[in-house]
Copies of this chain bind each other. A is one copy, B any other.
Amino acid sequence: MAVTIRDVARQAQVSVSTVSRALSAPGLVKETTRQRVLDVVAGLGYQPNRAARSLITGRTGNLGIVVPDLENPFFPAVLRGVQTRAGEAGTSVFFCDSRECPETEAELVRTMAAQVDGVVLCASLLSDETIIELATATPLVLINRIVPGVSSVLMDSASGMEQVVTHLESLGHKHYVYLGGPDAAWSNHRRMQGLRGRAQLIGSFEPNFGGGHTAAEQALKTGATAFIAYNDLMALGALSYLASNDIKVPQQISVTGFDDILYAAMCSPALTTVHMPTEEAGNVAVDLLANLLEGGPTEQRELPTKLVIRASTRKHPMSA
């Protein structure tokens, strides 16, 4: 195979342990020796064998992330945050898409566990019990989910939703309907809390374009003047349904989304939605995982969200 630590040791005229130390515990080696080793390392293009290292340290230097749907741009954004922060620490990232299936999710976490130091679980659909069980076996950080005793980073959905409601009320809307996401999604319940009981509820629907389409059809029958979608993808689906039925947004019906994915700003009318600090959440998740790996305590962190008002909402016509 490639060049080993022994080759470096020989050429630098030191023992293998000195090479090892020069690389991973610089303080323990005389500066001139270290420099000599480093030169040889560079010259030979030596790269430590990670398998050998992790065999002895028990650490892989990798981390995993599983998301429910890679096609929802919300999740690639989180991935980016994770990759960026992990990369800074020389950590590589495994990813998996569970396709909104809880069984797959648990399976993936278990499979990953064997080859990573810890995993980030996004918008999990698993039960508290299963999550606790997984967290016992593997350092685990949740994103947008709270489970007692497990680290997590939250984007404040409840507050985001309250901002939506406040906005809609300030526009004079009296009757609005919530196009609900998956029952198993913790975020869905959290968002409902933010509604403070003021919205009519329908659902649950699939948290994607098709789900929004279906939801809009039902929502229309309620006579509501505003639709609050579980997420942007559903809102986009609703927009599409309404457009194809010649219902004008926002003139006849106001629509709001959640997540502020890229397309929320691109569609027309541009979507009023709640901005989520996705990349930052990814960063923080990696930090929490790092703490965990150093024996630190579990932590919960909450990141603020902010309503972004665009063109899909306006004053309720009757309230003028």
Contact = CB atoms under 8 A, between A and B. Distances in A.
Interface of A: 1, 47, 49-52, 54-55, 58, 60, 62, 70-71, 73, 75-77, 79-80, 83, 87, 92-97, 111-112, 114-115, 209, 236-237, 239-240, 243, 262-263, 266-268
Contact of A70 (B1, B54, B80, B237): B80
Give 4 nearest A-B pairs by CB, closest first. Answer: A70-B76, A51-B55, A51-B54, A51-B51
B80 A92 contact: no
Contacts of A80: 70-71, 97
A236 B50 contact: no
B92 A112 contact: yes
Contacts of A77: 70-71
Contacts of A236: 263, 266
B51 A60 contact: yes
B268 A240 contact: yes
Contacts of A76: 70-71, 73, 75-76
A111 B97 contact: no
Q: Is chain A's binding surface mostly helix, strand, loop or mixed?
A: helix
A143 to B, nearest CB: 16
B115 A50 contact: yes
Given A55-B49, A70-B76, A93-B95, A62 B115 contact: yes
A92 B95 CA distance: 8
Given A71-B80, A209-B262, A111 B94 contact: no
A202 B268 CA distance: 26
B92 A111 contact: yes
Contacts of A71: 73, 76-77, 80, 262
A243 B268 contact: yes
A93 B70 CA distance: 14
A263 B60 CA distance: 38
A62 B62 CA distance: 12
A83 B55 contact: no
Contacts of A47: 114
B112 A209 contact: no
Given A47-B114, A60-B51, A71-B77, A93 B94 contact: yes
B240 A114 contact: no
A115 B92 contact: yes
A95 B70 CA distance: 12
Nearest to A56: B51
Contacts of A96: 83, 87, 92-93
A112 B90 CA distance: 11
23 contacts: A1-B58, A47-B114, A49-B55, A50-B51, A50-B114, A51-B52, A51-B54, A55-B55, A62-B94, A70-B77, A71-B73, A73-B73, A79-B95, A83-B97, A92-B111, A92-B112, A93-B95, A93-B96, A94-B94, A236-B263, A236-B266, A266-B267, A267-B267
A60 B60 CA distance: 12
